Copies of this chain bind each other. A is one copy, B any other.
Amino acid sequence: MTLRVGVIGTGAIGQEHIHRITNKLTGAKVVAVIDVNKEQVQAVAEKIDAKIYETGHDVIKAEDVDAIIVTSWGPTHEEFVLASIAAGKPVFCEKPLAVTAEGCKRIVDAEIAHGKKLVQVGFMRRYDESYRLLKETIDNQRIGEPLIVHCAHRNPSVPQGLYYGAMPIVDTFIHEIDVLRWLLNDDYVSVQAISPRKTRDAAEDLQDPLMVLLETKKGIRINGEIFVNCRYGYDIQCQVVGETGVANLPEPMSVLMRSEAKLSTDILVDWKKRFIDAFDVEIQEWINDTLKGEVNGPSAWDGYFAAVTADACVEAMEAMNSGKIVPISMPECPKFYL
């Protein structure tokens, strides 16, 4: 049986998912597409012989469409996810699930009201081999109970004028926010922000680097470093300190070189290469799960939790260096999502 997928939004990420479903993965085919850019959607549709629809809602309603992928402009996500739930169809939505925490909450409520899980959010790090190895290490109790996490998200540079203000949180740290909850099987309760000495490579409208200190329910403390003009490479670090040992996120595989007076491995520069395999695994597992009628990936609840946490981080960032501790208030997780 083949999963017939409708894709709403055929921009960069939409095209990538269409490409992997068509050429690399198994069990699904893209049969319906829609985009506000008519020329683009035409080109995409021809290549894979998919039908073009007038609106996202038409795609959702199409009888030969079994499941939806939402890769349209962020502010439209909520509407299409809600419509998919209304149609009773499984939907994979790229982050953000909705542009506000309230929007996410509406999706959670709608899904619970529907009575069956349908929504998966595109947090791809959970599908990255290195994070999975780290989680396995923790879950197998090889370092005892986690107590502290030191993590860093470093980009070589960001475009001036296009990356500023709260974007270190909402565009960058959002990935750590989701993946660390999953890694630690824990929820956040508060956050504080601190600004280290600023690099001369950062624009005026950007605090770079930035430190975010999260506290979890179990009392685990997370030191998050976000440094998006680090110059040297795209580097994702995560060290978990446990009661009996310490575990580090594996480095991407690289040839060990002896050359020019250095013993070295390469650090990636292009972020796209870092998680490219994770995207494949993510969509393949979504296809497999969807064909079985299951949702096992990041849920609407996870999307909602990430949104609330990000809001608190932004609030902490606005009060940074004041010592202000911003609470992260969420209701109890409904049984539906346990």
Contact yes or no, B221 A211, CB < 8 A: yes
Closest to A231 in B: B244
Q: Are the C-beta atoms of A241 and B137 separated by less than 8 Å? A: no
Residue from B133, B148, B261, B262 within 8 A of A225 (CB atoms):
B148
Chain A, 187-225, contact with B by CB distance < 8 Å: what is the 0/1 string? 000001011111111000000010101001011110101
Nearest B residue (CB) for A217:
B197
CB of B243 within 8 A of CB of A258, answer: no
In the assembled complex, how far is the CB of residue A265 from the closest CB belonging to chain B, in whole angstroms?
Answer: 5
Q: What string of 1s and 0s marks CB contacts (under 8 Å) between A262-298 and chain B?
A: 1111111100000000000000000000000000000
Please, how many angstroms separate the alpha-carbon atoms of A119 and B27 in the complex?
Answer: 28
| Chain B residues within 8 Å of A216, by CB | 197
Stretch at the interface among A57-65, A77-85, A245-253: A245-253
Size band of the A side of the interface? 35 or more
Instruction: Mark the stretch among A18-26, A68-76, A91-99 that contacts chain B.
Output: A18-26
By the criterion CB–CB under 8 Å, are B196 and A220 in contact? yes
Question: Is A88's beta carbon under 8 Å from chain B?
Answer: no
Q: Is the CB of A243 within 8 A of B213?
A: no
Within 8 A of B (CB), among A285-338: 321-325
- State whether A255 touches B134 (Cβ < 8 A): yes
- Output the least CB separation between A2 and chain B (Å): 11
Q: In the complex, how many angstroms separate the beta carbon of A300 from the nearest chain B beta carbon?
A: 28
Q: Which residue of B has the minimal Cβ distance to A288? A: B23
CB closest chain-B residue, reference A262:
B264
Query: Which one, B142, B209, B219, B261, contacts A259 given CB within 8 A?
Result: B142
A219 in contact with B232 (CB, 8 Å): no
Report if A260-B245 is in contact (Cβ < 8 Å); known contacts: A197-B218, A221-B197: yes
